[in-house]
Amino acid sequence: MESRKIRIGIDTGGTFTDIVAVDDETGAIVTTKTPSTPSDPAEGFLTGIEKVLDKLGEHGDSIGAVSHGTTVATNKLLEGKVENLGFITTEGYEHVLEIARQSVPDGYGNSYFWVKPDRIVPADRVKTVGGRLAFDGSEIRPLDEDSVRTAAQFFKDQGIKTIGVCLMHSYADPSHEERVREILDEVFPDATVSISSQVLREYREYERSITTLVDAAVKPNIRNYVNNIANRLREFSTADGESRDIPFYVMKSNGGVLSAKEVVHQPITTVLSGPAAGALGAALIADAAGVDQVLTCDGGGTSTDVTVVVRGEPALTTEGRVGNYPSKIPMIDVVTVGAGGGSIAWMTPERTLRVGPQSAGADPGPLCYGKGGSEPTITDAHVLLGRIPPHLLGGEIPLDTELARKGLEQLASELNLGFEECAVGILEVSAWNQANALRQITVKRGLDVRDFTLVTFGGSGSLLACKLIDILGLKDVLVPLDPGNVSAFGLLTVDVRNDYVQTHVGRHDRLQASELQELFDSLAGLAEVALAEEGFDETQRKYARTADLRYMGQAFEVRVPVGEGPISAELMDAAAEAFHDAHRELYGYDFRGDPAQHVEWVNLRVSGIGPIQRPAARTVAAGSGAATARTGSRQAYFDSWVDTTVYDRARLGAGDTIEGPAVIEEFSSTVPVHPGFSARIDTHGNIRISKTSDSNGVK
């Protein structure tokens, strides 16, 4: 008899690796966490699989598929470890990276000057080749193949094994770039090459060049990492001792997954892999709870990621950045701030308190881990204030409060603060860092933060929930079941997805439906091939069409859906009307009906979607009163030291209500409920936190 098929989601973070397994036959969901292993992430990955299989009483042959969220690409870019990279571009455009864009990230901030960061490729590693295409793809000058061979030989002689290629207007005709890759393969077969017409068939040369170079830069790391995981997965034996290939998917930044064998060809699509999974998992949980205006707050050990979800759909962007590098690939619109549990508290030269972005990570970790950490962190402040228990993961990781106390007292002394005052200050600064990130994705984009419910998750995501309600004026906070594993859960809710884009600029009133139909069909053909390679038959495949439109003369576009069915004048007009509506919603005005303002189509997009079975929403039985879940009490500091009741979340049921001060504990996370706040358990087991009185205790 064939074993049941278990699907496993694994999210590898900076401090912990989170694992969720779902039994597709019974619907049972099992979760666990294990410390990450930065020196070899595969170790934590495989340990997590063994732990959930143990809980289910299953073995390796019961695994139906594994989906993975990884930070390999993100970390390489954030750490600035981009080196040994070469660039080939069109003759006369060798300074495209140096010129870049005139915008300064976040303005000039509090500084009087801004220093441009180092280029991703130094000028001496940029080589140009002869030949030129026009904007419509027509050939002005043929490709100079001798100059390509000269460039290839230079990179070979210098030992530069990773090369990005971006030629002018290759989005319109990829033939020149494809020939460059062929010559590179002939002259320098050991090189890893990315060409822009395969990475991003979209205009704007600087962004296309950077996106292609980032793809090339992370390709060797992603390839080695993914192949290592796939090989190690093969070691999980079947019942008769024979190894087999386990279907292995990797999360993409666009909210979909892709098989590991395909993702090595599109490594840039994984740059926001983990945060994307968390946003999608939170979106599904909130939707089941009837909440359609959501802010997500994913707090890990190194950082906190926030995003907006409206009607179950996270916001998407093609204007994202990873570190210093812009990226034009479709991605869930995530803002990241260095405010995780391991974020280090430190004193500036001006003798003020700062928290992050530096993190103690998993190794050595916070002071209380007792693994050699030398600076106080957010986790140390929480444990010393009694907000979290003196252990993590149900006792698996004991915390040394004395080590934490010594480090925090030293910082307090340097700042001339009392012990409690310093610890509270660390959490206050951290909360404001998170609040400012949430304002960035709401208030700065014309959204009223008070209209949203905040969904907090991740190991540290819910520790400051009450403080965020105070700072932002939020109506409530939702903490899902197993909040420390929401990102891993999200990996089991997403479909296989591939995005394809083609720049085609034309005025709306002059475009022919037939030309748009031909281009959309071409993109759909690419999506169809990709879905077939992923094992989806014709009855399973889905396609979504969108387009980027603008008013003529604008330097930015707005994405709108293009309806189903054959492209017609009516369908095109409907897309233009959707553009007017979206433009007004985003910017407060539109030019609908103004004959002097023409709508222009810029980019056409098709997404190929292969649906994957989603786990059913979990429910919990009615509670018998919160008192039955009480496990004791301890002293915790809020505005003062108070006796604080501690509850076991696993024993709380629907309808149970807890008044602060209280602490709700579970395996993967802890939720402090401050005085003046209450927590209620809904039918799905979510904790719903709201404010019940002001700071003076008045109802």
Mean pLDDT of all residues belonging to the chain: 87
Q: What angle do CA 296, 42, 160 make, to 5 degrees?
A: 95
Integer CA distances (angstroms), 348 to 355, 394, 439, 654, in order: 10, 36, 25, 47
Please give the pLDDT value at position 2.
44
Mean pLDDT of 25-54: 83
pLDDT band with cut points at 50, 70 and 90 for residue 56: confident
Same domain, 152 and 230: no
Same domain, 512 and 589: yes
Q: Is the CB of residue 317 less than 8 Å from the CB of residue 333? A: yes
Same domain, 214 and 256: no
Please give the pLDDT value at position 243.
67
Rounded distance, CA 380 to CA 375, Å? 9
Does residue 435 lie in a domain region? Answer: no
Radius of gyration over every alpha carbon of the chain, rounded to an integer in angstroms: 26
405 vs 42, more confident? 405
Q: How many helices (H) and strands (E) does the chain have?
A: 16, 37
pLDDT band with cut points at 50, 70 and 90 for residue 1: very low
Does residue 456 lie in a domain region? Answer: no
Rounded distance, CA 65 to CA 251, Å? 13
Does residue 187 lie in a domain region? Answer: yes
Does residue 550 lie in a domain region? Answer: yes
Which has the closest alpha carbon to 605: 414, 379, 328, 382?
A: 328
Same domain, 248 and 184: no
Same domain, 84 and 208: yes
Same domain, 571 and 550: yes
Mean pLDDT of 256-269: 85
Does residue 111 lie in a domain region? Answer: yes
Same domain, 153 and 92: yes
Q: Among 610, 639, 669, where does a domain finish?
A: 610
User: 521: domain CATH number?
Assistant: 3.30.1490
Does residue 664 lie in a domain region? Answer: yes
Quote the crossing angle between the two packed helices 401-415 and 419-440, to the nearest 10°: 90
Same domain, 92 and 68: no
pTM: 0.82
Which residues, 6+ apart, have CB-to-CB distance to 113 below 8 Å? none
Same domain, 208 and 232: no
Mean pLDDT of 240-264: 81
User: 62: domain CATH number?
Assistant: 3.30.420.40
Rounded distance, CA 335 to CA 350, Å? 28
Same domain, 506 and 600: yes
Question: Which secondary structure element, helix H or strand E, spans residue 673, and what is its range?
Answer: strand 670-673
- pLDDT surpassing 80 at residue 108: no
Does residue 434 lie in a domain region? Answer: no
Domain that holds residue 648: 626-691
Integer CA distances (angstroms), 671 to 355, 389, 414, 686, in order: 21, 11, 30, 12
Q: Among 199, 218, 237, where does a domain finish?
A: 218
Reduce the DSSP state of residue 583 to 3 states and report it: helix
Mean pLDDT of 597-614: 92
Q: Is the CB of residue 10 less than 8 Å from the CB of residue 69? A: yes
pLDDT band with cut points at 50, 70 and 90 for residue 39: confident
Same domain, 542 and 645: no
pLDDT band with cut points at 50, 70 and 90 for residue 323: low
Q: Is the previous residue joined to 364 through a cis bond, with omega within 30 degrees of 0?
A: yes
Q: Among 560, 579, 610, where does a domain finish?
A: 610
CA contacts within 13 A on the Cβ side of 153: 6
Number of domains in the chain: 4
Same domain, 668 and 551: no
Q: Is the CB of residue 377 less than 8 Å from the CB of residue 343? A: yes
Query: Mind listing the pLDDT tens digit for each residue in 632-687?
Result: 999 999 989 999 999 999 999 999 999 999 999 998 889 999 999 999 999 999 99
Return the top range by mean pLDDT from 198-202, 224-228, 382-386.
Answer: 382-386
Does residue 443 lie in a domain region? Answer: no
